[in-house]
Every structure is written in C-alpha cells, then in structure tokens.
C-alpha cells in the first residue's frame, strides 16, 4: 500500500489517500467531496511513498462520540512543520479526546489524521515514531527510580541511554535520579514526564497540558524548552490552560469549545476578528476636563475612563502618540504610561462564552 498527501484540484485543501502501486483511483476530496484522480507510483515493494509534505499534523473532519456525548464534532486543522500550535479550550471541551485520536490511542467515529503525511490508522507505528507525546495523566513505574524508568523508555524508543540522566537533571530532578518514582510529588512526576517526551529528539511533540501541576520555575522550564525545540525546527502541538504561556510561545492557536473548533489563527488576528482593541493607561499629575475632552476628540478612540489621576483609553493601536500629544497640548503632565495589547485570555473568553 502507498499513502500520499495530495492537493484537491478544486478546493486546494490537502488530503491523504491510500492505494496500491500502479493504481489509478478516483477519490473524493475530504473537504469538498469532489472527485480527484490520483495515480500511485508503480515502484513495487514500496510501503509508503515519500512525498514532501508541508504539514506535520493534519486532522480532517474528526468526530468522536462517547455514548451520547459528542466529545469532538467535526474538527479540522493543520499544523505546519516547525510551527508551535496552541490548543485551548475549557474543561471538557474535547482537547484530550482530540489528542488521543491524533495518536490513534482512541478511534474517532469519523475523520482522518496524518502525522508527516502518514495516516495514523494505516501507518500508526511509523507515524508515532515521529512524535514525543506527553499524556494528560503522566504515569511511571512507581517501584523503579527516575533513571530506571527513563532507561526503560529510552530502550523502547531506541533512544540513547546517555540522554536519560541529562534530561532528568535538565528538568530539575538531579537530586532524585535514584529515588523511586512512587515517592515523587505530582510536579516531579510531571517534570519526569516531559523529560521522557524528549527522549530520542523526535521532530514532532504533542503535549497535553505540559505545565499541569508545575511550579513557576517548572513552567518557565517548559516555555524555554518549547522555544528551544522550535529553534531546532521541531513542530509542537500543545494544549494548555495557562493562556499567558501559550501566548508567549505559540505561532497560532486553535480554540475548541464543546467539541467544536470555534477559531484558529494567530492571537493578533483573532483579536482583530473580535475587534478587541489595545488599552492605554496613563497616569497624570492631575486630570482636567480639558485633557479628557482633547483625548475624546481624536478619531480612533473608543472609550475614555478616568479614575483619580489615571486615564484608561481604548483605542486603535496606531494612535498612542496622538493621545500623548493631545494630553500635553491640553496642559496635562504624564507621569507614567502603559499599553496593553489584547490578551489571549480575552480572546479565549469571547470565543468560549456560554
Ligand atoms: N472515556 C470517556 N467516556 C465517556 N465520556 C468521555 C470519555 N473521555 C472523555 N469524555 C467526555 O468527552 C468530553 C471531552 O473530554 P476531554 O477529556 O477531551 O476534555 P478536555 O478538553 O481534555 O478537558 P480538560 O481540560 O478537563 O482536560 C467530556 O464531556 C468528557 O466527559
Ligand atoms: Mg484534557
């Protein structure tokens, strides 16, 4: 069998097809359902045709139903190679269900998932070799030490055993190398879990709430590691509740709510779509009516509020300088100034409001 990713000649979306060497098939596009003629190479003995794919992860039309709960409802997204994609959603939104389906740990009721162009249902073993996976509930052998555990997983992943101690130390568990994992705190287990994910230096990482249970230093460790992996060209798919962390490291985010992917884009673009405006906070020696009137006259100002010596202005991003000039011209004396771009938290709350 040959698996390859092709571009639909009608809607231009990518989808993965499977066939036998030499076969010519008419296959409907996953997205628009129009038929595309696909020819498979007739080179015999080939298991997977090597085709350049620009997406590390592709999820098309994923549906997962638990009894009468539609945990994931027709989700589609693509993660480019080298991209950090943040996956956000409230509790019970369907993040873990999506992630488990991506790794073929549970089977969706519909949809297709590819990792580096490999269909996880067909070439699961090959596909999963490319991924470092951090599950939501990290588990180890309690009666083995941290090092013994990682050595075990290193062998399974055909990773170098030398990496184990280095990773344990990197994640701040140097003093616990020889301690049994059963005696570890929750955060220590999580740190060891992240270390295990990195074994073998895979090109793709799927991390389900990596900062769960970690202290502030642990959170910074993860953030820096994600940045480092990205610099090395890795692709990272990360679900998280800590929105500021996601905002700090992600190229794009997807927001899932009640099983539906309600938005996906950069934080800046999502803010734009929601018409979220930056906020300008100015502290003046004294706030006069003349100063407030001068600010209100500028076009691109949406709201002006004064509290004591503070003025809070909601405005277009490019008019901060005009606000400052207007205040000074109206006799105001600025003591302090702060600009706040729309936060991921605002975007998240808007997209997931009840
Ligand atoms: N094994 C299961 N059997 C039945 N229902 C399930 C099962 N696993 C998940 N669900 C349901 O599917 C929905 C999505 O759950 P999921 O664990 O994917 O959410 P999540 O976004 O990861 O939430 P959290 O942020 O709390 O981890 C929830 O309604 C949950 O109750
Ligand atoms: Mg979850």
Give pLDDT, residue 48: 37
Which of ligand 1's atoms lies nearest the C-alpha of 72? 14
Q: How many CB atoms lie within 10 A of CB 29?
A: 21
Give pLDDT, residue 45: 36
The answer to whether residues 39 and 24 touch, using CB atoms and an 8 Å cutoff, is yes
Nearest one of 265, 210, 278 to 85, comparing CA atoms: 265
Q: Which residue's C-alpha comes closest to atom 30 of ligand 1?
A: 92
Ligand 1 pocket, mutate which of 87, 89, 92 (most atoms under 8 A from CB): 92
Nearest one of 40, 16, 51 to 30, comparing CA atoms: 16
Dist. CA 209 → ligand 1 center (Å): 14
For 334, counting Cβ atoms within 10 Å of its Cβ (0-12 exposed, 13-18 middle, 19+ buried), the class is middle
Instruction: Please list the pLDDT of the chain residue by residue as tens digits (354 residues).
Output: 677 777 777 766 777 777 777 777 877 777 677 777 777 776 543 333 334 457 999 999 999 999 889 999 999 999 999 999 999 999 999 999 999 999 999 998 999 999 999 999 999 999 999 999 999 999 999 999 999 999 999 999 999 999 999 999 999 999 999 999 999 999 999 999 999 999 999 999 999 999 999 999 999 999 999 999 999 999 999 998 777 777 788 999 999 999 999 999 888 888 777 878 888 999 999 999 999 999 999 998 999 999 999 999 998 878 889 999 999 999 999 999 998 888 888 888 888 877
The answer to whether residues 56 and 235 touch, using CB atoms and an 8 Å cutoff, is yes
The answer to whether residues 201 and 235 touch, using CB atoms and an 8 Å cutoff, is no
Q: Which residue's C-alpha comes closest to atom 25 of ligand 1?
A: 91
Give pLDDT, residue 8: 72
How many helical (H) and strand (E) elements, i.e. helices and strands, does the chain have? 11, 18
The answer to whether residues 128 and 200 touch, using CB atoms and an 8 Å cutoff, is no
> Which tokens sit at 22?
């030499």
> Which tokens sit at 282?
């100015």
The answer to whether residues 202 and 132 touch, using CB atoms and an 8 Å cutoff, is yes
Dist. CA 100 → ligand 2 center (Å): 10
Give pLDDT, residue 11: 67
CB under 8 Å to 188, separation ≥6 — which residues? Answer: 173, 176
Nearest one of 255, 206, 247 to 223, comparing CA atoms: 247
- Residue showing tokens 């038929």: 35
**SS3 for 241?**
coil
- Phi/psi class of residue 45: alpha, beta or left (left: φ > 0; alpha: ψ in -120 to 50)? left
Measured from the alpha carbon of residue 241, the closest ligand is 1
CB under 8 Å to 256, separation ≥6 — which residues? Answer: 75, 87, 88, 89, 93, 94, 95, 98, 262
Give pLDDT, residue 49: 37
Domains and CATH numbers, the chain: 1-52 (no CATH), 274-351 (3.30.70.100)
Give pLDDT, residue 53: 55
> Which tokens sit at 99?
């992630």
* Cα torsion angle, 91, 95, 101, 103, sign: negative
Q: Which residue's C-alpha comes closest to atom 3 of ligand 1?
A: 66
Nearest one of 264, 262, 251 to 81, comparing CA atoms: 251
CB under 8 Å to 93, separation ≥6 — which residues? Answer: 256, 257, 258, 259, 352
Give pLDDT, residue 346: 82
Dist. CA 213 → ligand 2 center (Å): 13
d(CA 103, CA 231): 24
What is the crossing angle of helices 186-198 and 216-231, to 10°?
10
Dist. CA 98 → ligand 2 center (Å): 9
Nearest one of 237, 270, 283 to 342, comparing CA atoms: 270
The DSSP output letter for 156 is H
d(CA 161, CA 170): 15
């Amino acid at each position: 069998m040959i698996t390859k990713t092709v571009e639909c000649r009608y809607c231009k979306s990518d989808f993965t097809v499977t066939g036998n060497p030499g076969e010519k098939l008419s296959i409907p596009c996953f997205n628009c359902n129009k038929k595309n003629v696909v020819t498979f190479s007739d080179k015999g003995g080939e298991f997977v045709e090597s085709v350049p794919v620009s997406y590390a992860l592709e999820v098309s039309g994923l549906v997962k139903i638990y009894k009468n709960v539609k945990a994931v409802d027709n989700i589609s997204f693509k993660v480019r190679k080298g991209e950090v994609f943040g996956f956000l959603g409230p509790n019970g939104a369907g993040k873990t269900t999506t992630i488990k389906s991506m790794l073929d740990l549970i089977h969706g009721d519909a949809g297709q998932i590819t990792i580096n162009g490999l269909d996880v249902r067909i070439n699961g073993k090959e596909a999963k070799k490319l991924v470092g996976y951090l599950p939501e509930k990290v588990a180890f052998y309690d009666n083995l030490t941290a090092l013994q555990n990682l050595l075990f997983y290193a062998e399974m992943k055909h990773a170098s055993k030398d990496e184990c101690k280095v990773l344990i130390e990197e994640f701040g568990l140097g003093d616990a190398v020889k301690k049994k994992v059963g005696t570890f705190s929750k955060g220590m287990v999580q740190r060891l879990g992240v270390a295990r994910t990195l074994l073998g230096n895979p090109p793709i990482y799927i991390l389900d709430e990596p900062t769960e249970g970690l202290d502030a230093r642990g959170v910074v460790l993860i953030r820096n590691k994600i940045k480092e992996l990205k610099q090395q060209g890795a692709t990272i798919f990360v679900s998280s509740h800590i929105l500021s962390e996601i905002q700090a490291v992600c190229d794009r985010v997807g927001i899932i709510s009640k099983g539906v992917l309600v938005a996906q884009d950069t934080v800046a673009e999502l803010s734009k779509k929601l018409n979220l405006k930056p906020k300008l906070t100015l502290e003046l020696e004294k706030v006069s009516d003349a100063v407030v009137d001068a600010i209100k006259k500028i076009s691109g100002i949406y709201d002006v509020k004064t509290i004591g010596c503070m003025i809070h202005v909601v405005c277009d991003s490019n008019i901060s300088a005009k606000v400052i000039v207007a205040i000074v011209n109206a006799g105001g004396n600025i003591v302090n100034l702060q600009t706040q771009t729309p936060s991921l938290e605002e975007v998240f709350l808007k997209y997931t409001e009840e």
